Amino acid sequence: MSTSWGKAALLLVLALNNVAVADDVITSDTYFYGDSPAVYPSPEGTGAGDWPSAYNKAKAFVGNLSDDEKVNLTAGVSSRTGCSGYIQAINRLGFPGICVSDAGNGLRATDYVNGWTSGISVGASWNRNLAHDRGTYMGKEYRKKGVNMILGPVVGPLGRVALGGRNWEGFSTDPYLSGILVSESVTGFQSQKVATSVKHFIGNEQETNRNPTTDSAGNTIESVSSNIDDKTIHELYLWPFQDAVLAGATNIMCSYNRLNNSYGCQNSKALNGLLKTELGFQGYVVTDWGAQHAGIAGANAGLDVVMPSSETWNSNLTTAIANGTMKASRLDDMITRLMATWYYLDQDSAFPNPGVGMPSSASAAHQAVNATSQAAKPVLLQAAVESHVLVKNTKNALPLKSPKLISVFGYDAYGPMSLDLAPSSSPDLYQNGTLWVGGGSGTNSPAYLDAPIDAIQGRAYDDGSSVLWDFTSENPSVDYTSDVCLVFINAYATEGSDRKALSDSHSDTIVTNVATNCANTVVVVHNAGIRTVESWVDHVNVTGIIFAHLPGQDTGRALVEILYGDTNPSGRLPYTVAKNGSDYGSLLEPAQPEGKYEYFPQSNFDEGVYIDYRAFDKKGIEPQYAFGYGLSYTTFDYSDLNVSKKSASPSPYPAKAAIVPGGNPRLFDELVTVTATVKNTGSVDGKEVAQLYVGIPNGPVRQLRGFDKVLIKSGQSTTVSFSLTRRDLSTWDTDAQEWLLQPGTYKIYVGRNSRDLPLEATLTF
């Protein structure tokens, strides 16, 4: 059994396969033979950690199944179209089936639910408690609707490609921040006994060529291959998945792309090796919809359930067992893992009927189940508020102080012309209004939509202000008596395609034209990903800029709280904003099928761990706005940094221990405690996000390894505390296949963002 894979350099076994190269187009995948090592057999779930009771019940259940019943549970069916997927019932054993549905930010295509903030907004909040509460209340809605499993949250894509179409569904380009927030989200969801399907495992960093296509001549173009070396996959892309499994995630969704030239849902190294062996995952693996590209080979590689159905499994599974190409124990393990999840979350007890509240033209079972609640409203609003990141505020532009005349411009200020059970947005945003969520399966169904213009007019009524607006003109007329001009633009993204650019000329022109005629212009950007602002950021009349991200249904109400200072902004950027798109270099655009790889697109992750701020630091590129950056209406000072080691000389490698969900538990032993004092030196109360970065020997200049969001009253101080675990301080040793705590000097930084770290210390092991 291979236990490692080296640098993905596409080493070829040409002599054995007699494949021509040079400038010829590759037409056989034997060219890539050996890129992804084989790891067999698929490890059986053991009931490790807190899973023993669930496994005992699941094994007893499986023991009563016929072979046909076992096979039926390995793939979804379409008999309940109100759910995104459905695993059919076995009535004779009292199993009602399992309903799974999108999305990670609220149910879609249904009624009586809320449209929550998207992943990128949770990342912008840097608020672990809010992530947990959001998950909890969202989980309550899923449960009331009879949805057994949420298809989310998302930590893949991580955001390697700046123009990635689904980056907005995830939390951040940083694995540590993503890991903390996915952990809290999983815990919140599953506190309501709703399963989580953490996705997409793994290396799903672009939408371009995510699925096989055909060219005009009918030739098949395979999915893009994410070619990632062993060290990078551990230190970057696997990291948040490990945190999710550690938190108790019950399901992992495998991805469309190939990983080192083996499809993600049949990659034995990823599923059997990384997930089920190294991380000790006890739940089951499900395909993304239509991501099955192999039959028995997929099952042997660690795939457990196919969605939405399987054309290749069915009776072929029992045939494979009969002819020896698959073991009967593998089929039993697939179903045991599935049913263990059901029992683990006590869904056998007092859980609503699957899909009971999901509209379905094919079923009379739909009931008007109201899943919203008054208790959720404060969390909905606070999540929306903390989605906003104030990045520019000059001339005391904000907060607003009862302005006499507010002029509002831009296509993003108003609500959509229609809102039904399946709301959608499209790239033609100049007609579709404000952006509260991105497109594709991550779209949600809001109970209402409080658009910015509606909330602004409501506040104007209270204050006795006047409001003028023009949503359609590229060069609108500006009343010279305007106290403030608010310009609303957005940056759209959707599943299925990557973005074309990080800015657009139409939006930029609106901003520039308004600013030319208005001395106090505040720009609000609802952005489903990174949005550059180079053409107008330094305009003397652009006094304020807010990245509002995707705040969900309370978008207008939340914005008004920020604009008027009812709430002090506390959002921070979960990514780096460059001065120019070219600053992202090779990580700007997705890889394309080209040259000899025309039919087998390749995306080589040659940059290793150096994405986003790690890359900017390495190359000495000054960002427009640094990772972790965000302004407040008050100011904070830092002092009294203290670093304390728990052990004078910890071992280089973690002690051996039985693997539990999340991996070796000794990886999470606390080795170092860091504290600092933060004082609010301004005139208003506010929340600060204190951030800890570590410079690990032979690694990036600094990496986020802690954050603490604290409310500090004006003139008061508080102590922030960070715990550094063995994993936080280690690097992946590809030879030893262990996390290595290197001897040497470590740099400790604490401050406001990745480029503003006033406190420094050293740590030696």
Pairing between β-strand 745-751 and β-strand 738-740 as defined by DSSP bridges: unpaired
- Reply yes or no on whether the pLDDT at 542 is more than 90: yes
User: Helix (H, G, I), strand (E, B), or coil: what is residue 166?
Assistant: coil
Would you place residue 429 in the very low, low, confident or very high pLDDT band (cuts 50, 70, 90)? low
Q: What are the extents of the domains in the chain?
A: 49-205+219-345, 375-575, 634-764
Asked if residue 590 has a cis previous peptide bond (ω within 30° of 0), the answer is no
The answer for residues whose C-beta is within 8 angstroms of residue 749's C-beta and 6 or more apart is 692, 693, 694, 695, 702, 757, 759, 760
User: What's the mean per-residue pLDDT of the chain?
Assistant: 94
Structure tokens at 629: 């950056």
Task: Give per-residue pLDDT as tens, 149-200.
Answer: 999 999 999 999 999 999 999 999 999 999 999 999 999 999 999 999 999 9
CA separation for the pair 219, 448 (Å, rounded): 46
Buried b (16+ CB within 10 A) or exposed e, 246-267: bbbbbbbbbbbbbbbbbbbbbb
For 607-648, how does the pLDDT look when each residue is reduced to its tens digit (9 = 90+)? 999 999 999 999 999 999 999 999 999 999 999 999 999 987
Q: What is the pLDDT of residue 418?
A: 83
What does the pLDDT average to over 388-399? 97
Fold classified for 49-205+219-345: TIM Barrel (3.20.20)
Residue 665 has pLDDT above 90, yes or no: yes
Give pLDDT tens digits for 298-352.
Answer: 999 999 999 998 888 988 999 999 999 999 999 999 999 999 999 999 999 999 9
pLDDT at 554: 98
Q: Are 366 and 336 in contact (CB under 8 A)?
A: no
Percent of the chain clearing pLDDT 90 (strictly above): 89
Q: Look up tokens 């399946």; give the residue.
A: 422
The pLDDT of residue 742 is: 97
14: pLDDT strictly greater than 50: no
The yes-or-no verdict on residue 403 having pLDDT over 50 is yes
Quote the pLDDT of residue 419.
85
Measure the CA–CA gap between 528 and 549, rounded to whole angstroms.
6
Q: What is the pLDDT of residue 78?
A: 72
- Model pLDDT for residues 581-615, shown as the tens digit of each residue: 999 999 999 999 999 999 999 999 999 999 999 99
User: Whole-angstrom Cα distance, residue 716 to residue 634?
Assistant: 12
Q: Other CB atoms closer than 10 Å to residue 653's CB: what's the count?
A: 16
Q: Residue 9: pLDDT above 60?
A: no
State both tokens at 598: 């025309």
pTM comes to: 0.96
Q: 288, 612, 617, 733: which one is catalytic?
A: 288
Predicted confidence at residue 33, as pLDDT, reads 80
Strand, coil or helix: 722: strand
pLDDT at 364 over 90: no
Tell me, yes or no, if 420 is annotated catalytic: no
**Residue (of 577, 568, 512) closest to 709 by Cα position:** 568
* Beta pairing partners, 542: 521
Same fold for the pair 49-205+219-345 and 634-764: no
Residue 145, phi then psi, degrees to nearest 5: -85, 0
Could you give phi then psi for residue 303, rounded to 5 degrees? -75, 135
pLDDT grade, residue 23 (50/70/90)?
low
* CATH number 3.40.50.1700 is the correct assignment for the domain at 375-575: yes
Task: Assign domain 634-764 to its CATH superfamily.
Answer: Immunoglobulins (2.60.40.10)
Cα–Cα distance, 52 to 58 (Å, whole number): 10
Higher-pLDDT residue of 765 and 8 is: 765
**Which pLDDT tens digit goes with each residue over 746-763?**
999 999 999 999 999 999
| pLDDT at residue number 394 | 97
| Confidence grade of residue 430 (pLDDT, cut at 50, 70, 90) | low
75-128 confidence digits (pLDDT tens): 998 766 689 999 999 999 999 999 999 999 999 989 999 999 999 999 999 999
